[in-house]
């Protein structure tokens, strides 16, 4: 199926499993669909199975979005508690389209639990509460990780939450990463479980003879220890002064830590002139994407690195942000240079990255799909340099191999059905879906709640900021703008998260009696493991007002003491 055909299926509102080989355009298709929805005033929930994947797409993990956290199953009591979280209930109820990326790394039990939460909080018996669900990923990629002592992982396509919506399979057939016929043949053989003499001959020809120390390509290893050792040794061997860049975080400690774990850029980035680096974020205007390689060639007067890419382009690098959002509210964000040392990286963290070349060590591969993920990161056979591989490296899970045949077959059937569907009938389906989601058929983007603009074209946040910077009190701003004090506090939260007001600014609006109560309130937020106001308010039995708790949450995020 082509990307265009898959896009047409998505627009009808059908539940979809969007899959395909690495480089087939899954991310591009989802980005296009997301833009389409937003152009009609529909805001999809964009989630992923892991923190790393979530940072790639600018969304939340499905665990955070659904409120289940680390739990795979929930009791009735757990469900009742989720029902008291006003923000969670609101988030799920306003969601008409749910996208889950990297579905291969989400186990079936967790998927069933998320579906149950959606159905329960929406108070609808339809699967997933009636929303459109879009599963995105490739089951030949890395599978879910099971903890010690847990039962065997169930793939998500075996879950009831998957079967009950019977997603239309859109198996993308185009290839945009590799254009090397011989290389594509090898990848297809691995994917199909057909590891014959020809595959071994081709891969053996890509094995490196002798020392690899002088080969200037990023390296992929199956274990973190190898990666850290190579990067530390390489950086230490460079002459010159070392500069250190520490990640800045805003928001609750729990959410900031979740972002830090999922961010490809490290919490502490150490660089020298000559350091081999990889960009960890997309910025097409500046000329780099996630996976662009280069070398630090100088530092600017402000101390920021200038990276010369492998194609000779010099790019001044400035800090960028990774955020976790919930509709209009930014829950947490981290700010760091979009770089990481790239002499070496793990296969796990390379997922989603495209490389021109790589030195790959698969001698310690331990998981199904690990070799396939690593080898498919590069664009061509000429860019593949193998240090070696073991028997497990080229194996794919037999259950996935069987399921893939069925996915391809059902995708082909769906393609034929949609080809026969008259354009007029598809157009009616598309319009009906937009209307059912509360979107606009014409007239452009519907403004997001909380992002409204005044008649002067200034955002509501900037109007609050202007008055706050002019010295107006919160009460005065609320009165002048005909808004509640709680709303102004929510504006200040967003302004702080956006770096527009400082910790000192926040401290000015915290009453002394609330400053004294901060340790107690912070402890309660921590004990309840929530960012929501209602559970904390109820636990205190009304001891503190919602305005007090909102302001305390802001003070905690700003680390006011």
In a domain? residue 521? yes
Q: Are residues 255 and 320 in the same domain?
A: yes
Q: State the number of CA atoms in the 13 A half-sphere of 207 facing the CB.
A: 15
Query: According to the model, what pLDDT value does residue 373 have?
Result: 86
Residue 69 to residue 73: CA distance in whole angstroms? 10
How do the pLDDT tens digits run along the chain, 561 residues long? Answer: 899 999 999 999 999 999 998 778 888 898 899 989 989 989 999 888 876 666 556 677 888 888 887 777 888 888 888 888 888 888 899 999 999 988 988 889 999 999 999 999 998 889 999 999 999 998 887 777 655 555 566 889 999 999 999 999 999 987 666 567 788 888 888 888 888 888 898 898 888 765 555 567 888 888 888 888 889 988 999 998 999 999 988 887 878 887 887 788 889 999 999 998 888 887 767 777 777 778 999 999 889 999 998 778 889 999 988 877 665 567 788 899 999 998 888 888 777 677 888 889 888 888 888 888 888 888 888 888 998 888 888 888 888 888 998 999 999 999 999 888 898 898 999 999 999 998 888 744 444 444 444 444 557 888 888 888 888 888 888 888 888 777 888 788 788 877 788 888 888 888 888 888 888 888 888 888 777 777 788 888 878 887 788 888 888 877 777
Q: Which residues contact 391 (CB under 8 A, 6 or more apart)?
A: none
Q: What is the CATH number of the domain that holds 116?
A: 3.40.50.300
Structure tokens at 441: 């058929």
Structure tokens at 19: 């899959």
Q: Are residues 153 and 288 in the same domain?
A: no
- Domain range for 52 is 3-176+423-436
In a domain? residue 308? yes
Q: Are residues 21 and 165 in the same domain?
A: yes
The residue out of 375, 394, 413 marking a domain boundary is: 394
In a domain? residue 408? no
Of 370, 385, 393, 374, the closest CA to residue 217 belongs to 385
**How many residues appear in the chain?**
561
Q: State the number of CA atoms in the 13 A half-sphere of 54 facing the CB.
A: 27
Query: According to the model, what pLDDT value does residue 37 have?
Result: 92
Beta bridge partners of 171: 19
In a domain? residue 185? no
Longest Cα pair distance anywhere in the chain, in angstroms? Answer: 78
Q: CB of 259 within 8 A of CB of 335?
A: no
Q: Is 312 exposed, middle or buried (0-12, 13-18, 19+ CB in 10 A)?
A: exposed
Q: Are residues 88 and 140 in the same domain?
A: yes
In a domain? residue 160? yes
Residue 480 to residue 472: CA distance in whole angstroms? 10
Q: Are residues 275 and 358 in the same domain?
A: yes
Q: What is the CATH number of the domain that holds 515?
A: 1.10.10.1390
Q: Which residues contact 507 (CB under 8 A, 6 or more apart)?
A: 555, 558, 560
Structure tokens at 482: 């005909």
Q: Are residues 151 and 299 in the same domain?
A: no
CA 138 to chain centre: 16
Give the pTM: 0.63
Query: According to the model, what pLDDT value does residue 280 have?
Result: 83
Q: Which position has the token pair 């990629």?
A: 141
Of 102, 191, 131, 136, the closest CA to residue 3 belongs to 136
In a domain? residue 477? yes
Q: Which residues contact 510 (CB under 8 A, 6 or more apart)?
A: 518, 551, 555, 560
Residue 378 to residue 287: CA distance in whole angstroms? 20
In a domain? residue 47? yes
Of 558, 219, 93, 184, the closest CA to residue 376 belongs to 184
- Give how far Cα 322 sits from Cα of 51, 331, 521, Å: 11, 11, 27
In a domain? residue 86? yes
Q: Are residues 389 and 429 in the same domain?
A: no
Q: Are residues 367 and 427 in the same domain?
A: no
Q: CB of 30 within 8 A of CB of 11?
A: no
Q: Are residues 99 and 170 in the same domain?
A: yes
Residue 548 to residue 277: CA distance in whole angstroms? 45
Q: Are residues 322 and 431 in the same domain?
A: no
Q: Is 397 helix (H, G, I), strand (E, B) or coil?
A: coil
Q: Which residues of 253-263 are buried (b: 16+ CB within 10 A; e: fewer)?
A: eebbbbbbebb
Of 406, 409, 410, 397, the closest CA to residue 193 belongs to 397
Q: Are residues 171 and 232 in the same domain?
A: no
Q: Are residues 239 and 133 in the same domain?
A: no
* Number of domains within the chain: 3
């Amino acid at each position: 199926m082509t990307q265009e055909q898959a896009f047409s299926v998505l627009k009808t509102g059908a539940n979809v499993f969007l899959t395909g080989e690495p480089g087939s355009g899954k991310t591009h298709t989802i980005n296009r669909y997301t833009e389409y929805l937003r152009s009609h005033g529909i805001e999809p929930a964009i989630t992923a199975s892991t923190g790393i994947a979530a940072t790639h797409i600018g969304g939340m993990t499905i665990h955070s979005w659904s409120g289940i956290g680390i739990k795979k199953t929930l009791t009735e009591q757990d469900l009742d508690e989720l029902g008291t979280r006003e923000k969670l209930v609101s988030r799920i109820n306003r969601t008409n389209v749910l996208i889950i990326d990297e579905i291969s790394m989400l186990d079936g039990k967790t998927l069933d639990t998320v579906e149950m939460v959606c159905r329960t909080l929406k108070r609808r018996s339809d699967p997933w509460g009636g929303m459109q669900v879009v599963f995105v990923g490739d089951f030949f990629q890395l599978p879910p990780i099971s903890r010690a002592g847990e039962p065997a992982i169930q793939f998500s396509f075996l879950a009831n939450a998957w079967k009950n919506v019977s997603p239309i399979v859109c198996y993308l057939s185009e290839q945009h990463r590799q254009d090397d016929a011989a290389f594509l043949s090898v990848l297809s053989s691995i994917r199909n479980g057909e590891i014959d003499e020809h595959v071994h001959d081709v891969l053996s020809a890509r094995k490196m003879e002798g020392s690899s120390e002088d080969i200037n390509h990023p390296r992929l290893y199956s274990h973190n220890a190898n990666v850290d050792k190579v990067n530390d040794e390489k950086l230490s061997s460079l002459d010159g002064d070392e500069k250190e860049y520490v990640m800045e975080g805003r928001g609750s400690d729990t959410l900031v830590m979740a972002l830090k774990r999922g961010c490809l850029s490290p919490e502490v980035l150490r660089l020298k002139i000559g350091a081999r680096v990889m960009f960890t974020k997309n910025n097409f205007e500046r000329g780099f994407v996630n996976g662009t390689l280069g070398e630090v060639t100088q530092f600017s007067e402000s101390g920021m690195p200038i990276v010369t890419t492998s194609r000779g382009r010099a790019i001044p690098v400035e800090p960028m942000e990774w955020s976790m959002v919930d509709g209009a509210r930014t829950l947490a964000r981290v700010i760091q240079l979009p770089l990481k040392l790239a002499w070496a990286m793990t296969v796990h963290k390379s997922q989603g990255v495209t490389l021109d070349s790589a030195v790959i060590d698969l001698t310690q591969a331990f998981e199904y799909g690990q070799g396939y993920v690593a080898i498919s990161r590069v664009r061509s056979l000429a860019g593949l340099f193998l240090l070696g591989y073991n028997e497990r490296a080229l194996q794919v899970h037999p259950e996935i191999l069987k399921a893939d045949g069925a996915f391809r077959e059902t995708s082909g059937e769906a393609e034929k059905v949609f080809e026969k569907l008259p354009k007029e009938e598809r157009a009616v389906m598309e319009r009906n879906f937009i209307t059912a989601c509360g979107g606009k058929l014409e007239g452009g983007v519907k403004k997001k709640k909380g992002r409204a603009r005044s008649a002067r074209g200034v955002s509501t946040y900037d109007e609050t900021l202007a008055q706050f910077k002019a010295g107006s009190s919160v009460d005065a701003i609320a009165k002048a703008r005909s808004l509640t004090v709680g709303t102004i506090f929510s504006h200040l939260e967003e302004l702080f998260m956006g770096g527009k007001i400082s910790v000192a600014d926040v401290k000015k609006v915290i009453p002394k009696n609330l400053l004294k109560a901060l340790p107690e309130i912070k402890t309660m937020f921590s004990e309840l493991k929530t960012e929501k106001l209602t559970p904390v308010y109820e636990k205190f039995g009304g001891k503190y007002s919602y305005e007090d708790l909102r302001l305390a949450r802001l003070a905690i995020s700003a680390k006011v003491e």
